[in-house]
Amino acid sequence: MEEWMISADITLRDIYRARGRIAPIVRRTPLILSPWLTEQAGYPVYFKLENLQETGSFKIRGAANKLSGLPEEARRRGVITVSSGNHGRALAYVARRFGVRAVVCLSEAVPGNKREGIRRLGGEVVVRGRTYDEAAEHALLLQEELGLEMVYPFDDPLVIAGQGTIGLELLEELPELQAAVVPLSGGGLLGGIALALKSADPRIRVIGVSMERGPAMVESLRAGRVVDIVEEPTLADALAGGISPNRHTFDLVSRTIDETVLVSEEEIAEAMAFALEKHHLVVEGGGAVGIAALLSGKLRGLGGPAAVVVSGGNVDLPTLLKIADECRRE
């Protein structure tokens, strides 16, 4: 690979291609200023609201790009995936639009509202194993048995390019952008956005935020290779799970990320309550980690304008009510 290239597998061109393909299916989401975080930070802080995206998360961007690019023969057979919930929902939604069969493997840790959301869209839900990695093993077996096409939630160039379309929207609306704060799990979201932003200007900083409980990509970055982690229960369930085997995102994220931040369960809960109270936004734990990084003061000296990707809103009502109630008492 030439040294000046960010990635050999995927380039800015692929992200522009993705944008054309997915335009009929996805929403262009709002970018709003957070006056409270702006005051705290001392520079403008914006939210990119993917919690208001169709299916409640950005995952539909990657799923739509992947299915649009799938050969007719593979579409006839159908697709299968493993998911922490939001990717499965996005895939089921897009598959239904294309008239394609979709099987979604989930672990027992995936919240009930996410299972139900997939079923309502006609996705065939298979619950197997206690962790994402166990569900992933089962998905591979089923894929062979049923002859389906695997659509990975992050480790796929078409999925990464789809998520990267968020970066294009950020640049168009905020050309003076200095930093992006992005929730980080498998790294399809961060990798795609970073590729778009750094192709425009390599000086734009990209910060990845994960939860303290089982941050597979952050541990892998620290180790300099893909490592396995122990999956733990977390409010940021959308970020749970391992990243191996990995062909694309570890390398892409290693090359593009400037900094990582880990946030605690309490900081995630406070960020969710903050989004609800101040912005009237329903944000799930995994979607709120970027807000948590700023609100907690853990991310300092960033410089702005900065955009925080609010990546999803699929939180179940009892969880949200409990968090709102606990934060009100403090």
Choose, by CB under 6 A, the member of 186, 214, 242, 290 that binds ligand PLP: 186
Size of site (CB under 6 A) for ligand PLP: 19
- Phi-psi group of 11: left, alpha or beta (phi > 0 → left; psi -120 to 50 → alpha; rest → beta): beta
Considering the candidates 34, 57, 59, 107, report the single residue annotated as catalytic. Answer: 59
If you compute the radius of gyration of the chain from its CA atoms, what whole number of angstroms results? 18
Binding-site string for ligand PLP from residue 130 to residue 169, where x marks contact by CB under 6 A and - marks none: ------------------------x---------------
Residue 59 annotated in active site? yes
- Which residues are CB-contacts of 168 (< 8 A; sequence separation ≥ 6)? 15, 16, 19, 196
**Residue 86 C-beta: closest distance to ligand PLP, Å:** 3
Q: Which stretch binds ligand PLP (CB under 6 A): 9-17, 23-31, 182-190, 272-280?
A: 182-190
- Please, what is the angle between helix 317-329 and helix 265-279, to 10°? 90
Q: Which of 111, 312 has the CB closer to ligand PLP?
A: 312
Residue 114 annotated in active site? no
239 near ligand PLP, rule: CB under 6 A: yes
Task: Report d(CA 43, CA 236) in Å as an integer.
Answer: 27
68 near ligand PLP, rule: CB under 6 A: no
184 near ligand PLP, rule: CB under 6 A: yes
Residue 263's SS3 state is strand
The C-alpha angle with vertex 166 and arms to 66 and 18, in degrees rounded to 5, equals 30
Q: By the 8 A CB rule, do 19 and 165 touch?
A: yes
Binding residues for ligand PLP (CB under 6 A): 57, 59, 86, 154, 183-190, 238-239, 284, 286-287, 311-312
User: Known catalytic residues?
Assistant: 59, 311
